[in-house]
Chain A
Amino acid sequence: MTLHEYDVVIVGAGGAGMRAALESSQRARTACLTKLYPTRSHTGAAQGGMAAALSNVEDDNAEWHTFDTIKGGDYLVDQDAAEILCNEAIDAVLDLEKMGLPFNRTEEGKVDQRRFGGHTRNHGEAAVRRACYSADRTGHMILQTLYQQCIKQEVEFFNEFYVLDLLLDKDPQSTPEGEEVSVAGVVAYELATGEIHTFRAKSVIFATGGAGKVFKTTSNAHTLTGDGMAIAYNAGLPLEDMEFFQFHPTGLAGLGILLSEAARGEGGILRNSEGERFMERYAPTIKDLAPRDMVARAMANEVREGRGCGPHKDYVLLDLTHLEPAHIDAKLPDITEFARTYLGVEPYTEPVPVYPTAHYAMGGIPTNVQGEVLRNNTDKVKGLYAAGECACVSVHGANRLGTNSLLDINVFGRRAGIAAAEHALATEAAAELPEDAEGRLRAWVERLRDTVGTPGAESIAQVRRELQETMDRNAQVFRDEASLSAAKADIAALKERYEAVGIHDRGQRYNTDLLEAIELGFLLDLAEVVVEGALARKESRGGHYREDFPTRDDENFMRHTMVYGGEQLRLDYKPVVVTKYQPMERKY
């Protein structure tokens, strides 16, 4: 075993992790551990933009942005957090520009802005141009720029280190409320050598990104297996609002690859088999630019009612053919290339087949606005932070607005980085490591290695496929008691089969077979949490739509779900923070 000691250890080098590292490494001795090379992180896949009320092209302000965020999130948003998000947005964009991010520009040379779903002028009057962007590769530019700054600041990276266990000084579930629990470090597996490393630290930040691979059709990378969320959950910490998963309306049909909402922001129109612009019926005011949950449901409904397109009538069309090719090339070059490369469709002249794709986890590891992780509704875990998609602050509530996540990772990544460094500087010594710190991981890895050659072993790929299929079938855009119960039963059976999976590769070096088996374990745990939360939430709100309870029920459910693991999965609730926005009906 190798032991490392740092003030701050950051897990993840996507947008949130690197933004945190830039702050933390200026103040304290920091290591950034990442299972991928930083520039491979899925932040680089983000396309459309990053929201901030810069008012560079039309009148806008942070208060309107806050209102839109809260309404878009169907009033499950913690309003104090949303205020911070939108107030700090302007500096977050300007900071990136000063770091060198090549934003698209207005004629006067300022950062240009475009329209995006759910972002409006004066509390819903009309769509507003709030998204700062760089063609349709905004996430790529953010990831590259942050990485470039990390090179400049000589941030210490541990590339291709998989963090697989979290070390706390006490069991967070059996420790009484009000008593202190502290972080002690993390345990990581080095891909190149198979060696297990223990990192002791005064502060740890989780920034491990999303969990889209719980579903079959997804815009998320193969590596987005919710590791940070599952590791926290398995260490006895709760997960918040996991039943809220965003299905993005425009995934390439059959593939799930994302076509940014920017396509509609730039004038693209959704049509059904009759050529009808059906969003006019569902959201008369802002039509195709309604929030994602509404558009995704409308699309699924068109297909369900027989107005789908194609030989199996199982998708709708995104029509860009009325846009100038030059405009498409300037504003949407990458996504139109995806349509050409992967479906052989020419967007200049043909509409593109699209269908909702699992996109974004609104839920995650509960934190306060400093990024500090909560172990129940009130107690923080000392020294433990989370930021980005793996965290739930909660600024997205039941449905995230497009362009608010690139904002979230910058605002809360920065905050977590500062808070973690300050905590480390104010702390004499890191908590003691538990005895045999890496024992749990070592046992897991050895058990998997021993499965090589076991006759009749279950296949990782098969169990994963069945998990993803049941989630797509039963826990996607439309849900009800029966479908969710079916998913629950399937997951329970798959968890049993998981105990019998076998791997092929016994080796130490670059054993991605072994790691896929571990990641599958995380996916199974998270799927169970998603489904349990969804079963218990007998209402429809944002991304969670129950056909058997089709309306929002503020009296009983305007509260966050908190799921605790351990021997017996347990549900609890946490109140929503309301500052000045009273819930109202969500119409667009």
Chain B
Amino acid sequence: MAKDNVMGSSSKRREDVRFLKGRGRYTDDMNRPGQTYAYILRSWSAHATLNSVDTAAASEAEGVIRVFTGKDIEEAGLGGVPCGWEITDKNGDPMKEPAHPILATGKVRHVGDPIAVVVAETYQQARDAAEMIDIDMTDLPAVVDMRTAETLGTGVHDEAPDNLCYDWELGDAAATDAAFASAAHVTTLEFINNRLVANPMEPRCAIGDYDQDADHYTLYTTSQNPHVIRLLMGAFVLSIPEHKLRVYAPDVGGGFGTKIFHYAEEAFVTWASAQIKRPVKWTSDRSEAFISDAHGRDHVTKAELALDAEGKFLALRADTRANMGAYLSTFAPCVPTWLHGTLLAGQYATPAVHCRVRAMFTNTVPVDAYRGAGRPEATYLLERIINKAAQELGMDQAELRRKNFIRSFPYDTPVALQYDTGDYDATLDAVLKMADYDGFAARKAESASRGKLRGIGLSCYIEACGIAPSSLVGALGARAGLYEAATIRVNPTGSVTVMTGSHSHGQGHETTFAQVVSDALGIPEDQIEIVHGDTDKIPFGMGTYGSRSLAVGGSAIVKAVDKVVAKGKKIAAHLLEAAESDIVFEDGQYKVAGTDKAKAFAEVSLAAYVPHNYPIEEIEPGLEETAFYDPKNFTYPAGSYLCEVEVDPQTGKVEIVALSASDDFGNVVNPMIVEGQVHGGLAQGLGQAMLENAAYDEHGQLVAGSYMDYAMPLAVDLPSFNVETAEGTPCTHNPLGVKGCGEAGAIGSPPALVNAVVNALQDHGIDHIDMPLSPLRVWTAIQNASVKQAAE
């Protein structure tokens, strides 16, 4: 029997048994017979004309099988790396979409841009030979700062001499202007949302394996969505039809968005394997990951909030420059637009919102979705400017928010979304209590007695998850649908194999999805196997990102389970000699309603595969069902976070003394996994706010190109989190009533921390410091403020 209350129980993560024993099976753990190794020679210049690439000596080096350059790719007629989303700009024109070659030709456009690949018998030989490649480049001025990119006179791409990919807007500009004209108070905030490197624990890896006899390709890769890679690479880059291409992403050691995208290396190894008729493996090292994995965030924004005399929000205006980097990564164009502009209502009934986004090309690594993707940027904008408004008006940060909460649902925002449900007062009340907001003054005084400045910062976030209704995203420029697929294979003796299009790279799907199926079918979790990541086994899948796995992938599983049960009822009715309409399925039993006649789930499955006594005229043997689920709307997780800090004014060092989080994720399947997801998200969000900064210099060199300079959050930097999941408002439009929890922590926490530090320093007249709030930045802000105050 399944255990009681499968849904809502903290089942231990079954995948952890292999992960914790070091027995996870990652792409780099796999080796194919006859495998060769690829080493990629990458540009050390941010922007240069590529005059010549001489591979003669390298080709002769020991162990070298072949050296490939952009010319080889061009001659083979391969497509470039495609972009999966087209934005239409404010004039109705499509975005600029320059070619993204697999290997550079003519020009290199960022440090890390691949120039040539050596394929050799061993990795060392490939790397040795790469040093013999003679490259002649002429440096060009590098485009680095988005604020000057339009007028610099140097274009990253000829198609966009002003480096503008698109100039997009959303919302009613006239209504917004009118509201500003009548406002009692306008708060303005200019800020930078810092660029981040995703840094999954497992660097990327890809193995291409071409089978000449079958004329069939296999790509083993570190991906969050193998079917999407098969579609993009097969159809747009290599012209390999789906039935000739298998993409397999086994255990993947974290993704955080950066493993969503289709990368040139994947296409290269797949294609090269057919050229040399041997498998080709490429494994990124950490330094390479810094300059070849898509980065995240990187906005420069001016925001304005109009309020009336009582503190009601009248309108919000946002003008953002978003960095695309040197090429358009798979989902890059939609991140600052449809995943950012649409979230600018937040939890508030602001009647008018207008958002302008200019996407810029620069000579930097491409920027794309990173945990939260657009929504953290929107939340940061709103939650920071609200605190600045509260500071200017002398109002309490919680009260100002409460004055403006949306309280009736469904709610149509002025930025194109419809929130189905929510209760923002509930999570705010909860977090104020959890964090003892009322006792803050006493704690501040105690800190002051030790020479420390204590601050408290609130952030009330909302996000749109469970991406997304296909027809909607199609209208917005997506070049794919965003449903999910699942197959439930009931085996003859009643165990169940679930094939899901969602991909687990740390999220614990093998546990959560088993709980969902166990609950629905009334069979124990250990009778359920979750299979993911292999295009040969799974009908189709759009993969895992945007906190969509349970809301969309889980819903597909539920739909497939429903089909299994419906067919099972027909079989049971036959076996029990009852009418189908009298059969009920509960606790793993098909029962004749109102009688004690019943057939167990396994008896019915066996009958389906041994159809001796079977309604064969009416239904086919076997018990396997597939469902595709296309969501009707996004889901809207929301919550309130309170961060409390102590600032050391002498060094500028910030210590996070407490972080309390109250989240509404709708229904919760596994509270322990949800809490773990929130913890991870918080660590990344606080990492962005306090530590991480992918800084480039004016020449386009990544200054923070290793852990010597790129600061990652460590356990010692973080407090013990106080996390509670609210009773919650279940999602109204998916069968599980779930909303998604994977990104919340990373979305809600950065403004909470910055608000807390600014709150601590407000007596110094400080109203903003850009992230990350490093000791240097905080100390410098205090110095500048003292100088300013002295002058006044």
A binds B: no
